[in-house]
Structure 1
Amino acid sequence: MCAIAGLLFKNGQRNTLNMTTGEALTAMLDATLHRGPDSAGWALYHEPMDRLLRVRFFLSDTRSPEAEIRHIRELLAGQKVLIKKEKTLGCTYGAIVAYDGDVLALTHALESKARLVSIGSSLDIIKDVGQPVGLSQKYDIARFDGNHGIAHIRLATESGVHPDTSHPFWACGFSDVATVHNGQITNYWIMRRRLERRGMRFQTENDTELIAVYLAYQMSRGISLEASLESSLEDLDGTFSYLVATRDAIGYAKDKLAAKPMVKYEDEELIAISSEEVGLNRLFPGRALETTEPAPLTCGLWSRN
């Protein structure tokens, strides 16, 4: 088991929810903690800054943080990336940088020499071993109050418990595309080899990363995110419920067996999605919510107005 959560404010108004976006995502994860106590993570979408990128790296566990940060600075400088602001946070180093080149080319130049977590004009992925409330305090998640984000807690079943096996996963080389997922993609290797033959890159062997890379590849060909979600229902085998986020939208897809739960609440201001209704109840204590569970073999998409 794992649990996913997503939240998007449709028009910037937030009169119905008395929480920051970070607090709300953390509350949904905490309510479903029984589904995944091993690690937690958030894909947080800030307002984009003109000609600036957010980059985040895992710090190496084989050398001192200071030496690793010097190494990352040298790598960035070698790619003509100018650091505007930087901060070490938990097991990660994050920076806001000026860069005019291609994100995919930058990723290829960095990925074999440092452990990239994410790159985006809006996206910042925070993930680590531990439980959501404690990690939220460690990484100051409650201060995030952007218009949307997705989040995840993990029960490790097929790989060890490490920060880099935690979710969300970024679509390697593509700005602002991230996914969280509950389930298993059973044709992982077939799809991965197919995408690699078309020039796509992977950082891990996690099937959630495959979903992100698949969707990014589809969109790189001019296919809309909505159409990419629809095609994923045919191209991906297994039992899955997943969320994807981009710079201005979140979407979901659910396989034909519908074995992995997903519940949503929607009003005029927001859309909130959780693996269980108890997660949505945390957002509006004492209220009877009109929630729905997406049908099997369906997908959906919501965008900021």
Structure 2
Amino acid sequence: MCGIAGVIFREGYGPVGKVLVAMLSALQHRGFDSAGVAVYNCLGFGDGDTYIVRTLTADVLGALGKVASALGEIGANIRSVEMKPLHGVSFDRFVVKYRGDLRDLIDVINKTGVARVISIGRCVEIFKMTGKVGDLEESFNVSRLEGSHGIGHVRFSTESGVDLFRAHPFQSTINPDVTVVHNGQITNYWKMRAFLERQGVNFITDNDSELIVHYIAWLLEQGFSLEEALKRSVRDLDGPFAYIVATPDAIGIARDRLGLRPLIAAESVDGEVIIAASEEAALHAASKLLGVRFNTRYLRPGQVMVWRVRR
């Protein structure tokens, strides 16, 4: 029982954070354990070796220096650092230039013992925490974030534990700019996880939602289009589910073959804004905020849809 939401401004720029906060607030009744958003701002992004790394860092003397030293040891060049002390820890933001394996970058930070990677991406930033949407907004002011598109989630945990790292959105080290939010369960999780681990995929949590993002990212790496990857996921994943996936230039949505979890999409009359959510309440909230009329479409069982940014 979770709430999922997504928005895309097809011309490439809009108040993504503000829309996601409104939509997730309308879905708050779906879960109180955690909340999170992923916001994309990829216009003009041209350096494929530069990453935004967000960490949860111990608020202790020397912690930042220890992380910086570890990054230097693997040849990562820190371009900037922003620190945000909160609730006895620090949510830090590094801009890092790095040409090696991202798994090594993540491992070297996690092994410092004073920091752990929350998210990493070239043109996406993930903000998430335990608690409600209001807690997320108060802590990070996510409504200020603008970009081309984004996805969000409110969680009610049914299986895996409740903490920051099991909160959505999830991303994959195969391609960190692919993110997913999900409502439902993947009942063949262990079978599919074993398959992906044989392909060299590293799992961070035991949350079945993480499986979806790794599988989509892996399919994209094999050369499938986003729409083809979504169709294959619907074919190969079992259980009741609906999810929203985002890449640097697109948003896609998918519903399980039996239609056991709801998913609704809506397109503005002029075709420039698309929103999607697990409940109509979120669509109404976005429509009211933007002052835009939308044409609504309920996804059929097994249906997938994809929209891309025009640029």
Please confirm whether the aligned pair reaches a TM-score higher than 0.5, indicating the same fold: yes
CA contact (8 A) 1:13 1:269 kept: no
Partner amino acid, structure 2, of 1:303? R
CA contact (8 A) 1:281 1:287 kept: no
Question: Corresponding residue for 1:144?
Answer: 145
1:272 corresponds to 2:275:
yes
Cα 1:249–1:65, aligned 2, differ >3 Å: closer, same or farther?
A: farther
CA distance in 1 between counterparts of 2:278 and 2:29 reads: 11
CA contact (8 A) 1:105 1:173 kept: no
Question: Corresponding residue for 2:93?
Answer: 94
1:7 corresponds to 2:2:
no
Give 3-state SS (helix, strand or coil) of 2:175's partner: coil
Cα 1:158–1:13, aligned 2, differ >3 Å: closer, same or farther?
A: closer
CA distance in 2 between counterparts of 1:67 and 1:265 reads: 49
CA contact (8 A) 2:201 2:214 kept: yes
Give 3-state SS (helix, strand or coil) of 2:296's partner: coil
1:303 corresponds to 2:311:
no
Q: Using the TM superposition, give the Cα deviation of residue 186 of structure 1 relative to its aligned residue in structure 2, in angstroms.
A: 0.4
The two structures have a TM-score, normalised by structure 2, of: 0.89
Question: Corresponding residue for 2:57?
Answer: 59
Cα 1:263–1:66, aligned 2, differ >3 Å: closer, same or farther?
A: farther
Question: Corresponding residue for 1:294?
Answer: 299
CA distance in 2 between counterparts of 1:295 and 1:211 reads: 20
1:127 corresponds to 2:128:
yes
Q: Using the TM superposition, give the Cα deviation of residue 49 of structure 1 relative to its aligned residue in structure 2, in angstroms.
A: 5.2
The two structures have a TM-score, normalised by structure 1, of: 0.91
CA distance in 2 between counterparts of 1:143 and 1:41 reads: 14
1:89-138 residue CA offsets vs partner (Å, 9 max, x unmatched): 34522111122334345345545555222221111111101111231121
CA distance in 2 between counterparts of 1:288 and 1:146 reads: 21
Question: Corresponding residue for 2:191?
Answer: 190
Q: Using the TM superposition, give the Cα deviation of residue 9 of structure 1 relative to its aligned residue in structure 2, in angstroms.
A: 0.8
Equivalent residue runs for 1:254-269 within 5 Å: 254-267=255-268, 268-269=271-272
Question: Corresponding residue for 1:27?
Answer: 22
Q: Using the TM superposition, give the Cα deviation of residue 13 of structure 1 relative to its aligned residue in structure 2, in angstroms.
A: 6.1
CA distance in 2 between counterparts of 1:192 and 1:13 reads: 36
Over aligned residues, Cα RMSD in angstroms? Answer: 1.9
1:73 corresponds to 2:68:
yes
Unaligned runs of 5+ in 2: none
Question: Corresponding residue for 1:233?
Answer: 234
Question: Corresponding residue for 2:168?
Answer: 167
Partner amino acid, structure 2, of 1:256? R
1:140-162 residue CA offsets vs partner (Å, 9 max, x unmatched): 20111111110000012223321
Question: Corresponding residue for 1:180?
Answer: 181
CA distance in 2 between counterparts of 1:25 and 1:170 reads: 18
Unaligned runs of 5+ in 1: 15-19
CA distance in 2 between counterparts of 1:266 and 1:45 reads: 19
Give 3-state SS (helix, strand or coil) of 1:290's partner: strand
CA distance in 2 between counterparts of 1:246 and 1:67 reads: 36
CA distance in 1 between counterparts of 2:61 and 2:261 reads: 42
1:15-71 residue CA offsets vs partner (Å, 9 max, x unmatched): xxxxx21010011000011101111001111233534211112235xxx34443333
CA contact (8 A) 1:104 1:174 kept: no
Partner amino acid, structure 1, of 2:129? D
Partner amino acid, structure 1, of 2:22? A
Question: Corresponding residue for 1:17?
Answer: none
Q: Using the TM superposition, give the Cα deviation of residue 256 of structure 1 relative to its aligned residue in structure 2, in angstroms.
A: 1.4
Question: Corresponding residue for 2:105?
Answer: 106
CA distance in 1 between counterparts of 2:5 and 2:96 reads: 29
Cα 1:27–1:185, aligned 2, differ >3 Å: closer, same or farther?
A: same
Q: Work out the percentage of aligned pairs sharing the same amino acid.
A: 39
| Paired residue total | 297
CA distance in 2 between counterparts of 1:82 and 1:217 reads: 28
Q: Using the TM superposition, give the Cα deviation of residue 288 of structure 1 relative to its aligned residue in structure 2, in angstroms.
A: 6.3
